[in-house]
């Protein structure tokens, strides 16, 4: 059976539309069993293709219909922009459009009309400036799917990094890392590594929160009071968990060569390492959802919109990852 994935184009003034237009110029680079459905305003795609000097045709996709694989063509589930779009210049009026594309893509996946969704970057600041509280795709999709907790994981060749906390101010992180949260995060990570990545008994490395993993309590007690007891409890259920380890030495071959994923305690503890290793060739994956969702590893790059200089490597990687997960499912 051919897979069909929804692709949202994110912030319309950013490079999301560019990436999709550029990708569709050569569909042979897509997985052979994969068809794409853009969740977007078709006029936006045509306009951006024109600005890039590239050909593009669109056709309206209907649930249950096959997607057409042809160069310079994309099937579209139409969502209309709220205001005209100028490349490089976001408009708060289009915040509602961005969120509606996410709702449409997620609903098509919930209804099993599409096999997964791949998202281009949104501009969180513009959405919040429009008066809509929005902290990220991960949290938005958790609420949409009525899921209490999801896990954000980025993956590139040879490294997967999941996060215990996501988009929090640093001063709030320590208070957010509780025993119930860690137990639930690790349970989701372990289950999805098994079910969506085909790892029968995944080995997970867990970072400490503090420098040197707390230095036996001298640099903080979160490891002793929270992290270690949770790991011991879950090891008794059969999980392969190593840690808590100092984050400054965990990301070395000595440890990474023997693990399937790393759990970092906060956003900038784990993601700088992953992006250094594979920026532009990584995908962002939301675990714990009833649907498959992957995304690019970069932002909106407003300065590159409509210039032809945007690199589509991460979008292609996110599509390939979503296809792999959908096949295993």
Tokens 């005209």 correspond to 84
Binding-site members are 137-138, 167, 212, 267, 275, 284, 293
Encode burial over 112-138: b for 16+ CB neighbours within 10 A, e otherwise: ebbbbbbbbbbbbebbeebeeebebbb
Q: What distance lies between CA 273 and its chain's CA centroid?
A: 17
- How far apart CA 278 and CA 316 sit, in angstroms, is 13
- How far apart CA 142 and CA 211 sit, in angstroms, is 31
Taking residue 225's Cβ as centre, other Cβ atoms within 10 Å add up to: 12
Binding-site members for a divalent metal cation are 167, 212, 267
- How far apart CA 118 and CA 102 sit, in angstroms, is 10
Nearest CA-CA partner of 182 in 247, 233, 142: 233
Binding-site members for substrate are 137-138, 275, 284, 293
Do residues 285 and 155 lie in contact, with contact meaning Cβ atoms separated by under 8 Å? yes
- How far apart CA 126 and CA 300 sit, in angstroms, is 11
- How far apart CA 206 and CA 231 sit, in angstroms, is 9
Do residues 61 and 67 lie in contact, with contact meaning Cβ atoms separated by under 8 Å? yes
Indicate the DSSP class of residue 88: T
Do residues 86 and 46 lie in contact, with contact meaning Cβ atoms separated by under 8 Å? no
Do residues 4 and 114 lie in contact, with contact meaning Cβ atoms separated by under 8 Å? yes
Indicate the DSSP class of residue 216: T
């Amino acid at each position: 059976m051919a897979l069909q994935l929804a692709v949202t184009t994110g912030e319309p003034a950013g490079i999301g539309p560019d990436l999709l237009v550029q990708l569709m110029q050569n569909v042979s680079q897509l997985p052979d069993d994969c068809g794409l459905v853009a969740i977007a305003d078709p006029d936006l795609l045509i306009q951006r293709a024109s600005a890039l000097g590239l050909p593009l045709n669109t056709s309206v996709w209907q649930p249950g219909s096959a997607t057409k694989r042809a160069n310079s063509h994309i099937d579209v589930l139409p969502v209309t922009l709220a205001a005209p779009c100028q490349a490089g210049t976001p408009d708060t009026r289009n915040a509602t459009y961005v969120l509606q594309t996410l709702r449409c893509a997620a609903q098509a996946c919930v209804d099993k009309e599409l096999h997964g969704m791949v998202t281009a970057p949104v501009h969180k600041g513009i959405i919040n400036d429009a008066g809509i509280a929005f902290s990220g795709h991960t949290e938005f999709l958790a609420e949409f799917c009525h899921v209490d907790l999801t896990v954000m994981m980025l993956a590139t060749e040879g490294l997967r990094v999941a996060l215990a906390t996501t988009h929090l101010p640093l001063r709030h992180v320590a208070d957010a890392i509780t025993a119930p949260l860690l137990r639930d995060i690790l349970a989701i990570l372990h289950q999805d590594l098994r079910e969506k990545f085909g790892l029968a008994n995944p080995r997970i490395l867990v970072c400490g929160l503090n420098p040197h993993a707390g230095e036996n309590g001298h640099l903080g007690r979160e490891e002793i009071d929270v992290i270690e007891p949770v790991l011991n409890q879950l090891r008794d259920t059969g999980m392969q968990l190593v840690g808590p380890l100092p984050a400054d030495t965990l990301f070395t071959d000595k440890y990474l060569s023997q693990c399937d994923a790393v759990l970092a305690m906060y956003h900038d503890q784990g993601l700088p390492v992953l992006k250094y290793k594979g920026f532009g060739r990584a995908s962002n994956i939301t675990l714990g959802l009833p649907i498959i969702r992957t995304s690019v590893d970069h932002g909106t790059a407003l300065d590159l919109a409509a210039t032809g200089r945007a690199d589509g490597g991460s979008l292609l990687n996110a599509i390939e990852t979503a296809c792999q997960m959908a096949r295993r499912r």
